[in-house]
Structure 1
């Protein structure tokens, strides 16, 4: 570069025409400065000219920098129809998953004479058993039945079982129907995640998965508000208690979502018949995924299984998710409601409304931790920070001090537990990004393992009959042990294992690359 500048100066001294060359060089340098970051985005593999306007790097973007206008139009349609249904379905899923505890503290326990037993815990258990059994079955069916048919059908079926709950009068009836709800509802999470991954690029999935998960948090919160409103306005109407009306209204809310899914859900790029997508957009959707090297993963043979079970990711992330499940954090909102009810100073609407503050904390931490993790490029420190807060909360529960305000704050702040799910999912996606079979298996296995281990744990360590102190079973102390284990493992353990395994892998590659130089004869 320096020599070229000297040549220009010499030419300027002997040739008056060099002024024009200087201007051209200056213009070229100016253009290079502004186009250096956009040159790689100037045209994609499909030959589509991309948007040349490259803004400064932001902490958040909805589209990949340099996305063409045609691609933005395609993505807008996917967001409008595919993502909107995904969010609505997940909203209904968590609405129906949470409604049982709202009903329990809103008159069900007294009306049906459940008393101090563990009926609520068993309702949770039967639901979880249904989820564990139904998940693998749903994944198999999804390979032969169109998602546009299968997923809305599952939503309709589990909503029917939710509707039938309003007629229940015995605990065994609730157990059977809760199992059926879990069995049908198990299709929602893996099915929707699968379809989203078929349409969106990796760089587009993070923000949309976050929105998808947050819709479930809003569903948890809305269930409390709905039960509160029904208690004020529908108690005794039609000869039904307000808690029975909750199941009826949950069914009514699901019907428009079912119809919306049957009409607008786009299936996958390979078999879509969506009327709102042009033929070019359908072809472009397939091409976008192929550009990332994401092709069908093929058969699951012994070679693949050997690679999976020899991977460090399978064990590191499964242990993390098991620790997270064994904290029983997903049930703390129920325990919050039971504590408020046991105090005897709060009305039924207050018992349903106050715990929704946990959902607000959950929402805030999902957004905040995702931003921080992307900003610093590491998830270990974020895991550790959230784990320290959870440790404080569980320490308060274990000590169970006289201060009502301190316990109230601990319950509300425990809402931060929810951010672990998207952070762990992101960690799996990143560490297994080059192996789709490993990524899919690890994601499914860790969730199944977490669901399996928490069933006996919450049943025997956190029986609803011993709520909210769980002094007989030492439930909070057990939870505290797993919170500490979760904090240390996700904060330091996973990173340590990854560094060791990466170093060993690099060493093997380096050793295999060191071969004797060939000799020319």
Structure 2
């Protein structure tokens, strides 16, 4: 059944000059049939087909290939990111569930410093992790990093001082830094441009679910495990998180498919492996470049490294990724809620995050543009931060805007998909930028969080002017991603077309 389809796609690839049977330009002049120009994907009506999972006219065999990728590649990616955010959030849930009282932390900034040391690990690890993944097989590298940070999470159950937490949080951040950019890079190796935003959104949504589950798990442990085995419930949280991560790492070792060029996945047949390579080549994103000394030049002279790093840094400075933590501290400061409620209520932010990530991914894929989507989400986020800056508003309104701040999460899959699209087939440049922008985002947020959002000033941060400063960065993020990056991309495309036209004119003159 797959053989005729294989011949059909091989012939089509040869006509496009991208497959194994492709001819040189000299051969094409004498071919029996004229050379065929690469066909552009048909433009679809804006309204029809909004909820289709595949491109129109996708063959049954290719749909089966995409299904396998979604089942194995996407499922592990989501599980990995779920565990990452579960392990990133557990310190906050433990902190408000008895840890600060048991260890005598008092009114200091211990929680902020735990975040800072975690970000320091991320800062060091992310760029190098995503260069390593271009050399080491992803199915070894990513599950290996997951296993490593999980052991450091387990170690936190026995901590009795803040400095012990600082050391283990740094190690967690160092290895966790491979997860987000590494998986985003791998998704960019397999999926088309029109498929990327939705898959990237589902991947990042799994992290939101991890944040939510951490709250639910801590609430359940507080009710059922307090004092079991002579351990406080917050200590049990780290043990349970470790136990959940082990089967996910094992699953990744066996089922993650690597890249189309190197895959040995048992669930893909030979036609599917070839078609996976062709799908990317048809979009002009076939792997180019290699790991050598030219990497530095290719990266330093690209507009993408500066544009997307600035965008991610601005996103980090909105403190969006910590808004659930600040909401938790706000609820605790009101003295209106029980410990399980303080852990459970902020998970509503995750529900909003889920909605905006999925819907923004669909809209971006269908529009083929990410700028307008970033502009719309930024406008809503600006409204939320205006209310938080005012602060003296009714409790119900404050609760509502804290929850609506969950729309911030849509930016990460949008920016990651944008990088995968804009960098084409340069594997090293694409990998480095995904890691580097994560690293810089973590670097800029370290002093910002310490001086603008120290946990001792929670939840209104009046003395440090936390919310007003974050509002300024929200406005900058909205303008940069909604207008700045699209303008740069159009300029780059026009420049590339002029260069291509000049080369053709020069060739004709000879």
TM-score range, shorter chain: 0.7 to 0.9
CA shift for structure 1 position 376: 4.1
Q: State the superposition RMSD in angstroms.
A: 2.9
Deviation, 1:273, is: 3.4
Do residues 448 (structure 1) and 439 (structure 2) align? Answer: yes
| Cα offsets for 1:417-458 (capped at 9, x unmatched) | 111112222333344337555544433332222121111111
Q: 3-state SS of the aligned residue for 2:125?
A: helix
Indicate conservation of the 8 Å contact 1:45/1:291, yes or no. Answer: no
Q: Are 2:360 and 1:395 equivalent residues in the alignment?
A: no
Match of 1:192 among 163, 183, 187: 183
Query: Could you say which structure has the larger radius of gyration?
Result: 1
1:458 counterpart residue number: 449
1:428-439 alignment to 2 at 5 Å?
428-433=419-424, 438-439=429-430
Shift in Å, 1:468: 0.7
Q: Is the 8 A contact 1:308 1:438 kept in 2?
A: yes
Which ranges of structure 2 fall in alignment gaps of 5 or more residues?
A: 1-6, 14-43
Q: Could you say which residue in structure 1 is the equivalent of 2:30? A: none
2:316 maps to 325
Q: 2:170 aligns with which of 179, 183, 186?
A: 179
Looking at structure 2, the residues matched to 426 and 274 of structure 1 have their Cα atoms a distance apart, in angstroms, of 24
1:228 aligns with 2:193: no
Matches within 5 A, 1:364-513: 364-433=355-424, 438-500=429-491, 502=493
* Residue 139 (1) aligns with residue 130 (2): yes
Contact 2:194–2:365, Cα closer than 8 Å, also in 1: no
Q: Could you tell which deviates more after superposition, 150-159 or 138-147?
A: 138-147
Q: Describe the shift of the 1:289–1:245 C-alpha distance in structure 2 as closer, same or farther (beyond 3 A).
A: same
2:338 maps to which of 342, 347, 365: 347
Shift of 1:133: 1.6
Q: 1:157 to 1:475 in 2, by over 3 A?
A: same
Distance 1:197 1:382, change over 3 A: closer
Higher relative contact order (CA 8 A, sep 6+): 2
Distance (whole Å) between structure 2 residues aligned to residue 512 and residue 138 of structure 1: 37
Range with bigger deviation, 257-266 or 172-181: 257-266
Distance 1:217 1:70, change over 3 A: same
Give CA-to-partner distance per residue, 1:238-263, whole Å, 9 cap, x none: 11111111111111111221222223
Shift of 1:183: 1.3
Which residue of structure 1 lines up, in the alignment, with residue 147 of structure 2?
156
Residues 217, 345 of structure 1: CA spacing in aligned structure 2 closer, same or farther, 3 A cutoff?
Answer: same
Q: 1:385 offset after TM fit, Å?
A: 2.3
TM-score, with length taken from structure 2: 0.84
* Residues 356-376 of structure 1, C-alpha deviations (whole Å, 9 max, x = no match): 111111111112223333444
From the superposition, tell whether residues 470 and 279 of structure 1 become closer, same or farther in structure 2 (CA, over 3 Å): same
CA drift at 1:502:
4.9
**Whole-angstrom CA distance in 1 between matches of 2:206 and 2:249:** 17
Partner of residue 245, structure 1: 236
Q: CA deviation at 1:197?
A: 3.2
Deviations 1:274-300 (A, max 9, x none): 333334444444444444444443235
Shift of 1:495: 3.2
SS in 2 for 1:44: helix
Helix, strand or coil: the match of 2:267? coil
The structural deviation recorded for 1:353 is: 0.6
The answer as to 2:71 corresponding to 1:80 is yes
Compared CA separation, residues 424 and 272, structure 1 to 2 (3 A)? closer
* Alignment-derived partner of residue 298 in structure 1: 289
From the superposition, tell whether residues 512 and 264 of structure 1 become closer, same or farther in structure 2 (CA, over 3 Å): closer
What corresponds to 2:9 in structure 1?
Answer: 44
